[in-house]
């Protein structure tokens, strides 16, 4: 993580959003606060945060799929090894 827990707490980031993209969210929330009546002024920061969230999701899904396939492979090898004995 780029932002520390203290920085996220000081920026009043909700607990469920304190993840690897928290530093992008901090900048986005600060921009929203500084440009209050004009929310479209922070479009670039919103895009960065959304992209980070998407990349994080894709990486977690790839890791999950990798673990699932390794587990299936291990079970196949155990069955094959158990059948030959």
User: How far are the Cα atoms of 5, 10, 69, 73, 85 from residue 80, in angstroms, in the given order?
Assistant: 48, 56, 16, 10, 9
Encode pLDDT of 29-85 as tens digits: 999 999 988 878 899 999 999 999 999 999 999 999 999 999 999 999 999 887 766
For the entire predicted model, the pTM comes to 0.77
* Residue length of the chain: 85
Structure confidence at residue 84 (pLDDT):
65
- CB-based contacts of 49-58 (< 8 A; 24+ apart in sequence): 49/21, 49/24, 49/25, 52/20, 52/21, 52/24, 53/21, 56/19, 56/20, 56/21
């Amino acid at each position: 993580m780029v932002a520390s827990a203290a920085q996220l707490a000081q920026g009043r980031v909700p607990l469920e959003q304190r993840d690897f993209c928290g530093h992008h969210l901090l900048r986005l929330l600060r921009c929203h606060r500084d440009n209050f009546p004009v929310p479209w002024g922070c479009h670039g920061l919103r895009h960065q945060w959304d992209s980070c969230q998407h990349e994080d999701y894709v990486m977690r899904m790839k890791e999950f799929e990798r673990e699932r396939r390794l587990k299936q492979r291990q079970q196949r090898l155990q069955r094959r090894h158990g059948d030959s004995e």
